[in-house]
Structure 1
Protein backbone atom coordinates (compact mmCIF):
# COMPACT_ATOMS: atom_id res chain seq x y z
CA UNK A 1 0.00 0.00 0.00
CA UNK A 2 3.05 2.24 0.15
CA UNK A 3 2.40 5.72 -1.29
CA UNK A 4 -1.03 4.85 -2.66
CA UNK A 5 -3.60 7.68 -2.55
CA UNK A 6 -4.74 8.10 1.04
CA UNK A 7 -8.40 8.01 -0.02
CA UNK A 8 -7.90 4.55 -1.53
CA UNK A 9 -6.18 3.27 1.61
CA UNK A 10 -8.84 4.60 4.00
CA UNK A 11 -11.80 3.37 1.96
CA UNK A 12 -10.07 0.06 1.27
CA UNK A 13 -9.52 -0.58 4.99
CA UNK A 14 -13.13 0.42 5.76
CA UNK A 15 -14.35 -2.04 3.14
CA UNK A 16 -12.28 -4.91 4.50
CA UNK A 17 -13.40 -4.17 8.07
CA UNK A 18 -17.08 -3.77 7.13
CA UNK A 19 -18.12 -7.26 8.37
CA UNK A 20 -16.55 -6.43 11.74
CA UNK A 21 -18.52 -3.16 11.85
CA UNK A 22 -21.72 -5.15 11.36
CA UNK A 23 -20.86 -7.51 14.21
CA UNK A 24 -20.06 -4.57 16.50
CA UNK A 25 -23.33 -2.90 15.49
CA UNK A 26 -25.24 -6.08 16.40
CA UNK A 27 -23.49 -6.07 19.77
CA UNK A 28 -24.30 -2.42 20.50
CA UNK A 29 -27.87 -2.65 19.20
CA UNK A 30 -28.92 -5.93 20.83
CA UNK A 31 -26.70 -6.33 23.89
CA UNK A 32 -26.20 -9.99 22.98
CA UNK A 33 -22.87 -11.66 23.69
CA UNK A 34 -20.38 -11.98 20.82
CA UNK A 35 -20.66 -15.77 21.02
CA UNK A 36 -24.42 -15.62 20.49
CA UNK A 37 -24.12 -13.08 17.67
CA UNK A 38 -21.45 -15.14 15.87
CA UNK A 39 -23.43 -18.32 16.44
CA UNK A 40 -26.44 -16.73 14.73
CA UNK A 41 -24.30 -15.37 11.90
CA UNK A 42 -22.69 -18.76 11.22
CA UNK A 43 -26.13 -20.31 10.98
CA UNK A 44 -26.91 -18.32 7.85
CA UNK A 45 -28.25 -20.50 5.07
CA UNK A 46 -27.17 -20.08 1.48
CA UNK A 47 -23.96 -19.11 -0.26
CA UNK A 48 -25.42 -15.75 -1.30
CA UNK A 49 -26.10 -14.65 2.30
CA UNK A 50 -22.65 -15.75 3.45
CA UNK A 51 -21.07 -13.94 0.50
CA UNK A 52 -22.99 -10.71 1.13
CA UNK A 53 -22.17 -10.68 4.85
CA UNK A 54 -18.48 -11.63 4.83
CA UNK A 55 -17.05 -11.04 1.35
CA UNK A 56 -18.92 -8.39 -0.65
CA UNK A 57 -17.36 -5.22 0.79
CA UNK A 58 -13.88 -6.76 1.42
CA UNK A 59 -13.71 -7.62 -2.30
CA UNK A 60 -14.36 -3.95 -3.04
CA UNK A 61 -11.57 -3.02 -0.60
CA UNK A 62 -9.07 -5.35 -2.26
CA UNK A 63 -10.04 -3.89 -5.64
CA UNK A 64 -9.25 -0.40 -4.34
CA UNK A 65 -5.84 -1.54 -3.12
CA UNK A 66 -5.13 -3.08 -6.52
CA UNK A 67 -5.69 0.07 -8.64
CA UNK A 68 -5.45 -1.99 -11.84
CA UNK A 69 -7.57 -2.19 -14.96
CA UNK A 70 -9.67 -4.95 -13.38
CA UNK A 71 -10.06 -3.01 -10.12
CA UNK A 72 -12.40 -0.30 -11.35
CA UNK A 73 -15.12 -2.57 -12.82
CA UNK A 74 -14.87 -4.89 -9.79
CA UNK A 75 -15.21 -1.97 -7.37
CA UNK A 76 -18.10 -0.46 -9.31
CA UNK A 77 -19.71 -3.89 -9.62
CA UNK A 78 -19.56 -4.39 -5.85
CA UNK A 79 -21.25 -1.05 -5.28
CA UNK A 80 -23.95 -1.66 -7.91
CA UNK A 81 -24.68 -5.06 -6.39
CA UNK A 82 -24.75 -3.53 -2.91
CA UNK A 83 -27.14 -0.79 -4.03
CA UNK A 84 -29.39 -3.46 -5.52
CA UNK A 85 -29.45 -5.48 -2.30
CA UNK A 86 -30.18 -2.36 -0.24
CA UNK A 87 -33.06 -1.32 -2.51
CA UNK A 88 -34.51 -4.82 -2.26
CA UNK A 89 -33.85 -5.27 1.46
CA UNK A 90 -36.51 -7.14 3.44
CA UNK A 91 -36.95 -6.13 7.07
CA UNK A 92 -35.31 -8.37 9.66
CA UNK A 93 -33.53 -10.57 7.14
CA UNK A 94 -29.83 -11.19 6.70
CA UNK A 95 -27.34 -9.69 6.53
CA UNK A 96 -28.66 -6.97 8.90
CA UNK A 97 -31.53 -8.59 10.83
CA UNK A 98 -33.04 -5.16 11.48
CA UNK A 99 -35.86 -3.01 10.19
CA UNK A 100 -33.49 -1.19 7.84
CA UNK A 101 -29.88 -1.79 6.71
CA UNK A 102 -27.32 -0.76 9.33
CA UNK A 103 -25.85 2.73 9.24
CA UNK A 104 -22.16 1.64 8.91
CA UNK A 105 -22.88 -0.10 5.62
CA UNK A 106 -25.10 2.76 4.46
CA UNK A 107 -22.36 5.28 5.31
CA UNK A 108 -19.72 3.36 3.36
CA UNK A 109 -22.20 2.82 0.52
CA UNK A 110 -22.90 6.56 0.35
CA UNK A 111 -19.17 7.26 0.11
CA UNK A 112 -18.82 4.64 -2.59
CA UNK A 113 -21.62 6.09 -4.71
CA UNK A 114 -19.99 9.51 -4.44
CA UNK A 115 -16.63 7.98 -5.32
CA UNK A 116 -18.06 6.17 -8.36
CA UNK A 117 -19.50 9.45 -9.63
CA UNK A 118 -16.17 11.13 -8.92
CA UNK A 119 -14.21 8.48 -10.81
CA UNK A 120 -16.45 8.82 -13.84
CA UNK A 121 -14.35 11.88 -14.62
CA UNK A 122 -11.71 10.81 -17.20
CA UNK A 123 -8.80 12.49 -15.43
CA UNK A 124 -9.68 10.93 -12.07
CA UNK A 125 -10.02 7.31 -13.19
CA UNK A 126 -6.75 7.36 -15.12
CA UNK A 127 -4.71 5.58 -12.38
CA UNK A 128 -6.84 2.46 -12.89
CA UNK A 129 -6.14 2.29 -16.62
CA UNK A 130 -2.84 4.14 -17.12
CA UNK A 131 0.14 2.42 -15.51
CA UNK A 132 2.26 5.58 -15.74
CA UNK A 133 -0.22 7.36 -13.45
CA UNK A 134 0.42 4.85 -10.64
CA UNK A 135 3.52 6.57 -9.28
CA UNK A 136 3.72 4.26 -6.26
CA UNK A 137 4.56 1.32 -8.55
CA UNK A 138 7.63 2.98 -10.03
CA UNK A 139 10.73 1.09 -8.95
CA UNK A 140 13.64 2.92 -7.36
CA UNK A 141 16.47 3.14 -9.85
CA UNK A 142 20.13 2.97 -8.85
CA UNK A 143 22.88 4.66 -10.83
CA UNK A 144 25.94 2.42 -10.83
CA UNK A 145 28.22 1.11 -13.56
CA UNK A 146 27.91 -2.67 -13.74
CA UNK A 147 29.72 -4.73 -16.41
CA UNK A 148 27.48 -7.24 -18.20
CA UNK A 149 27.20 -9.31 -21.34
CA UNK A 150 24.27 -10.07 -23.59
CA UNK A 151 23.16 -12.11 -26.55
CA UNK A 152 20.26 -11.63 -28.93
CA UNK A 153 18.22 -13.75 -31.29
CA UNK A 154 20.07 -12.11 -34.18
CA UNK A 155 23.48 -12.79 -32.68
CA UNK A 156 23.95 -15.69 -30.26
CA UNK A 157 27.53 -14.73 -29.45
CA UNK A 158 28.11 -12.94 -26.16
CA UNK A 159 28.80 -9.22 -26.40
CA UNK A 160 30.19 -7.05 -23.62
CA UNK A 161 28.31 -3.99 -22.41
CA UNK A 162 27.79 -1.91 -19.29
CA UNK A 163 24.69 -1.14 -17.25
CA UNK A 164 24.55 2.48 -16.10
CA UNK A 165 21.39 2.34 -13.98
CA UNK A 166 19.17 -0.47 -12.82
CA UNK A 167 15.97 -1.26 -10.94
CA UNK A 168 13.98 -4.40 -10.27
CA UNK A 169 11.89 -3.76 -13.37
CA UNK A 170 14.62 -2.88 -15.86
CA UNK A 171 17.90 -1.15 -16.67
CA UNK A 172 19.70 1.19 -19.04
CA UNK A 173 22.50 -0.59 -20.90
CA UNK A 174 25.20 1.39 -22.69
CA UNK A 175 25.64 -0.18 -26.08
CA UNK A 176 25.65 0.77 -29.75
CA UNK A 177 21.91 0.72 -30.40
CA UNK A 178 22.11 0.96 -34.20
CA UNK A 179 21.51 -2.77 -34.47
CA UNK A 180 18.47 -2.76 -32.18
CA UNK A 181 14.87 -1.63 -32.34
CA UNK A 182 12.07 -1.39 -29.81
CA UNK A 183 10.54 -4.76 -29.07
CA UNK A 184 13.74 -6.75 -29.61
CA UNK A 185 14.49 -9.33 -26.93
CA UNK A 186 17.89 -10.15 -25.52
CA UNK A 187 19.40 -12.24 -22.74
CA UNK A 188 21.41 -10.24 -20.21
CA UNK A 189 24.09 -11.84 -18.04
CA UNK A 190 24.71 -9.78 -14.93
CA UNK A 191 27.29 -10.27 -12.19
CA UNK A 192 27.62 -8.15 -9.07
CA UNK A 193 29.94 -9.14 -6.26
CA UNK A 194 29.19 -12.84 -5.66
CA UNK A 195 25.78 -12.83 -7.34
CA UNK A 196 25.20 -13.93 -10.93
CA UNK A 197 21.98 -13.98 -12.92
CA UNK A 198 20.85 -14.40 -16.52
CA UNK A 199 17.59 -12.71 -17.51
CA UNK A 200 15.44 -12.26 -20.56
CA UNK A 201 14.82 -8.59 -21.34
CA UNK A 202 12.81 -6.55 -23.81
CA UNK A 203 14.17 -3.37 -25.39
CA UNK A 204 11.59 -0.69 -24.68
CA UNK A 205 13.52 2.44 -25.71
CA UNK A 206 16.56 3.72 -27.56
CA UNK A 207 17.90 6.83 -25.82
CA UNK A 208 20.79 8.41 -23.98
CA UNK A 209 21.60 8.55 -20.28
CA UNK A 210 24.21 11.02 -19.03
CA UNK A 211 25.31 11.57 -22.66
CA UNK A 212 25.84 7.82 -23.15
CA UNK A 213 23.80 6.16 -25.89
CA UNK A 214 22.15 2.84 -25.17
CA UNK A 215 18.91 0.93 -24.75
CA UNK A 216 16.26 0.84 -22.06
CA UNK A 217 15.51 -2.70 -20.92
CA UNK A 218 12.47 -4.19 -19.23
CA UNK A 219 13.23 -7.45 -17.47
CA UNK A 220 10.92 -10.36 -18.27
CA UNK A 221 11.03 -12.74 -15.34
CA UNK A 222 10.18 -16.30 -16.31
CA UNK A 223 9.87 -17.62 -12.75
CA UNK A 224 9.27 -16.13 -9.32
CA UNK A 225 12.70 -17.45 -8.29
CA UNK A 226 14.35 -15.22 -10.89
CA UNK A 227 12.52 -12.21 -9.48
CA UNK A 228 13.44 -13.13 -5.89
CA UNK A 229 17.08 -13.55 -6.90
CA UNK A 230 17.03 -10.20 -8.67
CA UNK A 231 15.40 -8.59 -5.62
CA UNK A 232 18.36 -9.82 -3.57
CA UNK A 233 20.84 -8.39 -6.10
CA UNK A 234 19.04 -5.03 -6.17
CA UNK A 235 19.30 -4.82 -2.36
CA UNK A 236 23.05 -5.45 -2.61
CA UNK A 237 23.34 -2.80 -5.35
CA UNK A 238 21.34 -0.39 -3.19
CA UNK A 239 23.78 -0.77 -0.31
CA UNK A 240 26.75 -0.41 -2.65
CA UNK A 241 25.25 2.74 -4.19
CA UNK A 242 24.72 4.34 -0.77
CA UNK A 243 28.25 3.44 0.27
CA UNK A 244 29.65 4.91 -2.96
CA UNK A 245 27.64 8.10 -2.42
CA UNK A 246 28.92 8.52 1.17
CA UNK A 247 32.50 8.04 0.01
CA UNK A 248 32.03 10.61 -2.76
CA UNK A 249 30.57 13.13 -0.30
CA UNK A 250 33.46 12.59 2.13
CA UNK A 251 36.12 13.05 -0.55
Structure 2
Protein backbone atom coordinates (compact mmCIF):
# COMPACT_ATOMS: atom_id res chain seq x y z
CA UNK A 1 0.00 0.00 0.00
CA UNK A 2 1.28 3.41 -0.95
CA UNK A 3 -1.30 5.68 0.66
CA UNK A 4 -1.83 7.01 4.15
CA UNK A 5 -4.39 5.25 6.37
CA UNK A 6 -7.88 6.23 5.24
CA UNK A 7 -9.03 7.50 8.68
CA UNK A 8 -6.04 9.90 8.70
CA UNK A 9 -6.96 11.21 5.26
CA UNK A 10 -10.68 11.61 6.00
CA UNK A 11 -10.09 13.44 9.28
CA UNK A 12 -7.39 15.62 7.70
CA UNK A 13 -9.77 16.63 4.89
CA UNK A 14 -12.45 17.51 7.44
CA UNK A 15 -9.89 19.70 9.21
CA UNK A 16 -8.88 21.43 5.98
CA UNK A 17 -12.45 22.25 4.94
CA UNK A 18 -13.69 23.08 8.46
CA UNK A 19 -13.84 26.87 7.72
CA UNK A 20 -16.02 26.12 4.68
CA UNK A 21 -18.26 23.90 6.83
CA UNK A 22 -18.78 26.83 9.19
CA UNK A 23 -19.71 29.09 6.28
CA UNK A 24 -22.11 26.43 4.95
CA UNK A 25 -23.65 26.21 8.43
CA UNK A 26 -24.08 29.98 8.54
CA UNK A 27 -25.79 29.83 5.15
CA UNK A 28 -28.14 27.03 6.21
CA UNK A 29 -29.14 28.63 9.51
CA UNK A 30 -29.30 32.33 8.57
CA UNK A 31 -30.26 32.13 4.88
CA UNK A 32 -28.00 35.13 4.24
CA UNK A 33 -26.25 35.29 0.85
CA UNK A 34 -22.80 33.70 0.96
CA UNK A 35 -21.18 36.98 -0.10
CA UNK A 36 -22.70 38.72 2.95
CA UNK A 37 -21.48 35.96 5.25
CA UNK A 38 -17.94 36.13 3.85
CA UNK A 39 -17.98 39.93 4.10
CA UNK A 40 -19.00 39.76 7.76
CA UNK A 41 -16.27 37.20 8.43
CA UNK A 42 -13.74 39.49 6.75
CA UNK A 43 -14.52 42.11 9.39
CA UNK A 44 -13.17 39.99 12.24
CA UNK A 45 -11.47 42.55 14.45
CA UNK A 46 -8.74 40.47 16.07
CA UNK A 47 -5.92 38.29 14.80
CA UNK A 48 -6.95 35.59 17.26
CA UNK A 49 -10.47 35.46 15.78
CA UNK A 50 -9.07 35.27 12.25
CA UNK A 51 -6.69 32.50 13.32
CA UNK A 52 -9.42 30.47 15.01
CA UNK A 53 -11.83 30.80 12.11
CA UNK A 54 -9.54 30.20 9.14
CA UNK A 55 -6.33 28.51 10.33
CA UNK A 56 -6.77 26.50 13.53
CA UNK A 57 -8.33 23.33 12.15
CA UNK A 58 -6.49 23.41 8.77
CA UNK A 59 -3.17 23.46 10.66
CA UNK A 60 -4.30 20.31 12.45
CA UNK A 61 -5.23 18.78 9.08
CA UNK A 62 -1.82 19.52 7.58
CA UNK A 63 -0.13 18.06 10.65
CA UNK A 64 -2.24 14.92 10.39
CA UNK A 65 -1.34 14.50 6.71
CA UNK A 66 2.33 15.06 7.47
CA UNK A 67 2.76 12.09 9.83
CA UNK A 68 6.24 13.32 10.78
CA UNK A 69 7.96 13.83 14.13
CA UNK A 70 6.69 17.41 14.28
CA UNK A 71 3.14 16.40 13.29
CA UNK A 72 2.14 14.68 16.51
CA UNK A 73 2.88 17.57 18.93
CA UNK A 74 1.41 20.10 16.46
CA UNK A 75 -1.78 18.06 16.01
CA UNK A 76 -2.21 17.53 19.75
CA UNK A 77 -1.46 21.22 20.47
CA UNK A 78 -4.11 22.31 17.97
CA UNK A 79 -6.68 20.04 19.56
CA UNK A 80 -5.81 21.16 23.10
CA UNK A 81 -6.13 24.79 22.06
CA UNK A 82 -9.42 24.01 20.33
CA UNK A 83 -10.76 22.29 23.44
CA UNK A 84 -9.71 25.31 25.51
CA UNK A 85 -11.37 27.78 23.14
CA UNK A 86 -14.58 25.76 23.05
CA UNK A 87 -14.73 25.50 26.85
CA UNK A 88 -14.27 29.26 27.11
CA UNK A 89 -16.61 30.16 24.25
CA UNK A 90 -18.67 33.32 24.78
CA UNK A 91 -22.19 33.15 23.28
CA UNK A 92 -22.75 35.04 20.03
CA UNK A 93 -19.10 35.88 19.49
CA UNK A 94 -16.89 34.86 16.59
CA UNK A 95 -16.02 32.51 15.12
CA UNK A 96 -19.49 30.95 15.58
CA UNK A 97 -21.80 33.90 16.30
CA UNK A 98 -24.27 31.59 18.02
CA UNK A 99 -25.21 30.59 21.54
CA UNK A 100 -22.97 27.53 21.30
CA UNK A 101 -20.18 26.44 18.95
CA UNK A 102 -21.48 24.99 15.70
CA UNK A 103 -22.03 21.26 15.38
CA UNK A 104 -19.51 20.70 12.51
CA UNK A 105 -16.70 22.00 14.72
CA UNK A 106 -17.99 20.09 17.72
CA UNK A 107 -18.14 16.90 15.64
CA UNK A 108 -14.56 17.29 14.43
CA UNK A 109 -13.49 18.25 17.95
CA UNK A 110 -15.09 15.04 19.28
CA UNK A 111 -13.17 13.06 16.65
CA UNK A 112 -10.01 14.87 17.68
CA UNK A 113 -10.43 13.96 21.33
CA UNK A 114 -10.98 10.34 20.32
CA UNK A 115 -7.89 10.52 18.08
CA UNK A 116 -5.74 11.97 20.88
CA UNK A 117 -6.80 9.12 23.18
CA UNK A 118 -6.19 6.65 20.34
CA UNK A 119 -2.73 8.11 19.65
CA UNK A 120 -1.75 7.54 23.28
CA UNK A 121 -1.27 3.90 22.27
CA UNK A 122 2.47 3.33 21.56
CA UNK A 123 1.80 1.30 18.40
CA UNK A 124 -0.29 4.10 16.91
CA UNK A 125 2.31 6.79 17.64
CA UNK A 126 5.08 4.85 15.89
CA UNK A 127 4.47 6.19 12.34
CA UNK A 128 4.96 9.74 13.62
CA UNK A 129 8.35 9.01 15.14
CA UNK A 130 9.68 6.04 13.14
CA UNK A 131 9.99 6.48 9.39
CA UNK A 132 10.17 2.71 8.84
CA UNK A 133 6.62 2.36 10.17
CA UNK A 134 5.26 4.71 7.48
CA UNK A 135 4.53 1.89 5.06
CA UNK A 136 2.86 4.28 2.59
CA UNK A 137 6.16 6.13 2.07
CA UNK A 138 8.15 3.09 1.03
CA UNK A 139 9.42 3.57 -2.50
CA UNK A 140 8.95 0.94 -5.16
CA UNK A 141 12.13 -0.85 -6.16
CA UNK A 142 12.77 -1.85 -9.76
CA UNK A 143 14.91 -4.77 -10.89
CA UNK A 144 16.82 -3.47 -13.88
CA UNK A 145 20.41 -3.50 -15.07
CA UNK A 146 21.95 -0.05 -15.47
CA UNK A 147 25.66 0.66 -16.05
CA UNK A 148 27.18 2.99 -13.48
CA UNK A 149 30.51 4.17 -12.15
CA UNK A 150 31.65 5.06 -8.65
CA UNK A 151 34.52 6.30 -6.56
CA UNK A 152 35.03 5.59 -2.87
CA UNK A 153 35.81 8.28 -0.33
CA UNK A 154 39.04 6.45 0.48
CA UNK A 155 40.15 6.44 -3.14
CA UNK A 156 39.86 8.77 -6.11
CA UNK A 157 39.89 5.87 -8.56
CA UNK A 158 36.81 5.74 -10.80
CA UNK A 159 35.50 2.19 -11.22
CA UNK A 160 32.75 0.66 -13.34
CA UNK A 161 29.88 -1.33 -11.88
CA UNK A 162 26.28 -2.20 -12.60
CA UNK A 163 23.01 -1.38 -10.87
CA UNK A 164 20.88 -4.52 -10.38
CA UNK A 165 17.91 -2.90 -8.66
CA UNK A 166 17.08 0.66 -7.71
CA UNK A 167 14.58 2.86 -5.88
CA UNK A 168 14.44 6.55 -5.09
CA UNK A 169 16.21 5.93 -1.78
CA UNK A 170 18.98 3.56 -2.83
CA UNK A 171 20.22 0.77 -5.05
CA UNK A 172 21.98 -2.57 -5.16
CA UNK A 173 25.10 -2.49 -7.29
CA UNK A 174 27.84 -4.96 -8.11
CA UNK A 175 31.10 -3.90 -6.51
CA UNK A 176 34.40 -5.75 -6.90
CA UNK A 177 35.39 -4.79 -3.39
CA UNK A 178 35.77 -6.54 -0.06
CA UNK A 179 33.12 -6.31 2.66
CA UNK A 180 35.47 -4.01 4.58
CA UNK A 181 34.02 -1.01 2.72
CA UNK A 182 30.60 -1.33 4.39
CA UNK A 183 29.72 2.00 5.93
CA UNK A 184 32.03 3.89 3.60
CA UNK A 185 30.93 6.92 1.62
CA UNK A 186 30.99 6.97 -2.14
CA UNK A 187 30.02 8.98 -5.19
CA UNK A 188 27.97 7.05 -7.74
CA UNK A 189 27.27 8.14 -11.29
CA UNK A 190 24.15 6.64 -12.93
CA UNK A 191 23.11 7.12 -16.55
CA UNK A 192 19.76 5.96 -17.86
CA UNK A 193 18.93 6.65 -21.52
CA UNK A 194 19.82 10.35 -21.90
CA UNK A 195 19.67 11.31 -18.23
CA UNK A 196 22.65 11.28 -15.91
CA UNK A 197 22.85 11.91 -12.18
CA UNK A 198 25.80 11.95 -9.78
CA UNK A 199 24.94 11.33 -6.13
CA UNK A 200 26.64 10.91 -2.80
CA UNK A 201 25.83 7.56 -1.22
CA UNK A 202 26.68 5.34 1.70
CA UNK A 203 27.33 1.60 1.51
CA UNK A 204 25.03 0.01 4.06
CA UNK A 205 25.20 -3.74 3.40
CA UNK A 206 26.96 -6.52 1.52
CA UNK A 207 24.93 -9.45 0.19
CA UNK A 208 23.81 -11.29 -2.93
CA UNK A 209 21.05 -10.44 -5.37
CA UNK A 210 20.15 -12.82 -8.20
CA UNK A 211 23.25 -14.85 -7.30
CA UNK A 212 25.51 -11.84 -7.79
CA UNK A 213 27.58 -10.36 -4.99
CA UNK A 214 27.21 -6.66 -4.39
CA UNK A 215 26.37 -3.87 -1.98
CA UNK A 216 23.26 -2.05 -0.97
CA UNK A 217 23.75 1.70 -1.00
CA UNK A 218 21.61 4.54 0.34
CA UNK A 219 21.53 7.77 -1.64
CA UNK A 220 22.36 10.94 0.29
CA UNK A 221 20.73 13.85 -1.50
CA UNK A 222 22.37 17.23 -1.06
CA UNK A 223 19.35 19.31 -2.10
CA UNK A 224 15.79 19.15 -3.38
CA UNK A 225 16.92 19.52 -7.00
CA UNK A 226 18.77 16.20 -6.83
CA UNK A 227 15.63 14.58 -5.40
CA UNK A 228 13.46 16.04 -8.15
CA UNK A 229 15.85 14.97 -10.90
CA UNK A 230 16.05 11.47 -9.43
CA UNK A 231 12.24 11.39 -9.40
CA UNK A 232 12.31 12.11 -13.14
CA UNK A 233 14.81 9.30 -13.75
CA UNK A 234 12.78 6.89 -11.61
CA UNK A 235 9.71 7.58 -13.74
CA UNK A 236 11.69 6.63 -16.84
CA UNK A 237 12.97 3.50 -15.12
CA UNK A 238 9.43 2.63 -14.03
CA UNK A 239 8.14 2.85 -17.59
CA UNK A 240 11.05 0.77 -18.89
CA UNK A 241 10.60 -1.88 -16.19
CA UNK A 242 6.85 -2.17 -16.84
CA UNK A 243 7.44 -2.42 -20.59
CA UNK A 244 10.04 -5.13 -20.04
CA UNK A 245 7.67 -7.03 -17.73
CA UNK A 246 4.87 -6.84 -20.32
CA UNK A 247 7.19 -8.17 -23.01
CA UNK A 248 8.18 -11.09 -20.78
CA UNK A 249 4.51 -11.94 -20.19
CA UNK A 250 3.78 -11.80 -23.91
CA UNK A 251 6.73 -14.03 -24.82
* SS of match in other structure, 1:96: coil
Number of aligned residue pairs: give it: 250
Question: 1:241 and 1:2, CA in 2 relative to 1: closer, same or farther beyond 3 A?
Answer: closer
Kindly state the Cα deviation for residue 80 of structure 1 after the two structures are TM-superposed: 0.2
Deviations 1:30-89 (A, max 9, x none): 121112111111000111110000000000001111111111111101000000001111
CA distance in 1, matches of 2:179, 2:2: 39
Deviation at 1:246, TM superposition (A): 2.5
DSSP-derived class of the 1:69 partner:
coil
Match of 1:62 in 2: 62
- Determine if contact 1:163/1:174 at 8 Å carries over to the other structure: yes
Partner in structure 2 of residue 157 of structure 1: 157
Deviation at 1:223, TM superposition (A): 2.8
Which residue matches 1:79?
79
Kindly tell me: are residues 2 and 94 of structure 1, through their superposed partners in 2, closer, same or farther at Cα, counting changes over 3 Å?
farther
Contact 1:205–1:217 under 8 Å retained in 2:
yes
Query: Once the two structures are superposed, what CA deviation does each residue of 1:91-139 show, in whole Å capped at 9, x if it has no partner?
Result: 1111111111111100000011001101100011111111111111111
Hey, which bits of structure 1, 4+ residues long, moved more than 6 A?
none
Q: CA distance change for structure 1 residues 152 and 224 in 2, over 3 Å: closer, same or farther?
A: same
* Counterpart in the other structure of 2:126: 126
TM-score (norm 1): 0.95
Give me the CA root mean square deviation: 1.5
Distance 2:33 2:165 in 1: 60
Correspondence 1:21-100 to 2 at 5 A: 21-100=21-100
1-structure distance, mates of 2:220, 2:164: 19
Unaligned runs of 5+ in 2: none
Matches within 5 A, 1:193-208: 193-208=193-208
Q: Please, which moves more after superposition, 220-229 or 12-21?
A: 220-229
Contiguous gaps of at least 5 residues in structure 1 = none
Structure 2 distance, partners of 1:78, 1:140, is 34
Q: Superposed, which structure 2 residues align to 1:96-115 within 5 Å?
A: 96-115=96-115
